[in-house]
Amino acid sequence: NAGVTQTPKFRILKIGQSMTLQCAQDMNHNYMYWYRQDPGMGLKLIYYSVGAGITDKGEVPNGYNVSRSTTEDFPLRLELAAPSQTSVYFCASSFGFSARDGSTDTQYFGPGTRLTVL
């Protein structure tokens, strides 16, 4: 299994440009997530999905859009890129919780996309 894959690895955008960050997983996970990580900081949840056709906003959704047409893929769209969106973007997936009393839910992360907006 490839796990979670992300493309591209690096990208430089000009202000106002748009792009799509690709994320795919081959573990048949229902849950998928997009995070951003600014230098020296923790991860902030942008959007998440609990299954194909279902998405919801996380902590910092402004300036981004997502779709989930298949279980495997969860692309993140940046419209009108701004310098504040310069960050490392991580996609992750998991099976999700099956019970509240002690079950684990490991998130598996992709290698990340390093995006710079100039």
Partner 1 sequence: GQSLEQPSEVTAVEGAIVQINCTYQTSGFYGLSWYQQHDGGAPTFLSYNALDGLEETGRFSSFLSRSDSYGYLLLQELQMKDSASYFCAANSGGYQKVTFGTGTKLQVIP
Rule CB under 8 A: is residue 112 a binding residue for partner 1? yes
Strand partners, 93: 32, 108
Q: Are 51 and 71 in contact (CB under 8 A)?
A: yes
User: Of 44, 54, 58, 26, nearest to 90 (Cα)?
Assistant: 44
Binder to partner 1 among 79, 105, 116, 118 (CB under 8 A)? 105
Rule CB under 8 A: is residue 109 a binding residue for partner 1? yes
In single-letter form, the type of residue at position 111 comes to P
Write out the binding residues for partner 1, residues 51-90 only, by CB under 8 A. 56, 58-59, 90
Binder to partner 1 among 7, 69, 70, 103 (CB under 8 A)? 103
Rounded to whole angstroms, the Cα distance separating 12 from 68 reads: 25
| Region of 8-16, 48-56, 68-76, 78-86 interacting with partner 1 (CB under 8 A) | 48-56
CB of 91 to partner 1, least distance (A): 9
